[in-house]
A = this chain, B = another copy of it.
Amino acid sequence: MARNRVGVIGGGQLARMMIPPAVELGIDLRVLEEAEGMSADLAATGVGDYRDLDTVLAFAETVDVVTFDHEHVPPAILRELVGRGIPVHPGPDALLYAQDKLQMRAKLSELGLPVPDWAAVESADELGVFLADHGGRAVVKTARGGYDGKGVRVVTEASGADDWFLALAEDGHGGALLVEELVDFRRELAQLVARRPSGEVAAWPVVETVQRDGVCAEVIAPAPGAAGRVAQASADIARRVAEGLGVTGVLAVELFETTDDRVLINELAMRPHNSGHWSIEGAVTGQFEQHLRAVLDLPLGSTAPREDWSVMVNILGGPAEGTLQDRYPAALAAHPEAKFHGYGKAPRPGRKVGHVTVGGDDLDDVVYRARAAAAFFEG
């Protein structure tokens, strides 16, 4: 009998968005959520702490393959699952690179992939040296735990990361910070691919992402003007990352397109990613369906776009009062063409609570309509 039970660790909106394709394909999706009532609650079969071995083991024994809503499960737990013969995708060896940016940069450099200049720095003095070599400006990142702009800081002085060095020292482990050149980029791109354990890789078109305050605000698919060399370079990079790091499932590679026409890797995520939400309606196979296929080692679906342009706009924070649903009568009436997604999360400033996707053949019009539709849910 075919393996058909997919266990997702983490009950956030990424797990939630796996539910529709699981229902459609007849896949038995089961979620271990951190607390009751989370975004993916409908598919939850367990509630507990993903840092607790017994909790994760008990859950994993009820499924055929384990995958993730996030990248924070401790490697020791993942290795224990693998040791017991439970398939884990992406596996602990790959996730290591998503969990530790220093390991990731070292591996990408070793593979000869294009990354910004970087160094591991353990002191203000070492940071000062890097700054002196890079025009007095750099980006400092904590190796672990950052997301959505957290754990990332632009520095112009050697003392600019002293608090983080202190925190590392107090943590008892010591360790280094990642410092990178401040890339002079034209725009940010994201390249998503999916890879099966047996090797098949499928790439969606590269997209342009627009960040606000370090958080993804909008995505344009495909990235305008990127049809030729940039698209090919992006797809090649993501494929090499997926293969070089042994990633299984969906991999998101966030990229800089530099003012001197290079494409450099910024960040990686080894899971479905905000920059791929457009694909739910905008591609023949959306990222959540593809992730399920990939982790079950099923043949991947077509990643061809279904529209000339798809634009996704996040709903950040949501209504100041009430729920997303309170805004539906006005929003749906004004935008019968838009696809609305609510994550079942209470509105809170800055929180990703939903998104809107619009497709069409006139980019300016599609951008305008997607923003206008999303704006119904703010303020």
Contact = CB atoms under 8 A, between A and B. Distances in A.
Of A21, A25, A285, A340, most B-chain CB atoms within 10 Å: A25
B19 A325 contact: no
Of A26, A285, A301, most B-chain CB atoms within 10 Å: A26
B2 A323 contact: yes
Given A337-B284, A342-B25, A332 B301 contact: yes
A26 B43 CA distance: 14
State how many copies of this chain the complex holds.
Answer: 2
Nearest to A304: B337
B26 A20 contact: no
A324 B20 contact: no
B24 A332 contact: no
B19 A343 contact: no
Given A42-B43, A306-B306, A329 B298 contact: yes
Interface residues of A, number: 44
A1 interface: yes
Contact of A337 (B2, B16, B19, B302): B302
Contacts of A343: 26
23 contacts: A2-B325, A2-B326, A16-B23, A17-B23, A19-B19, A19-B42, A24-B280, A24-B339, A25-B341, A25-B342, A27-B325, A42-B42, A42-B43, A284-B337, A284-B339, A299-B328, A299-B332, A299-B333, A300-B332, A301-B336, A301-B337, A302-B337, A304-B337
Interface of A: 1-2, 4, 16-17, 19-21, 23-27, 42-43, 280, 284-285, 293, 298-302, 304, 306, 322-326, 328-329, 332-333, 336-337, 339-344, 354
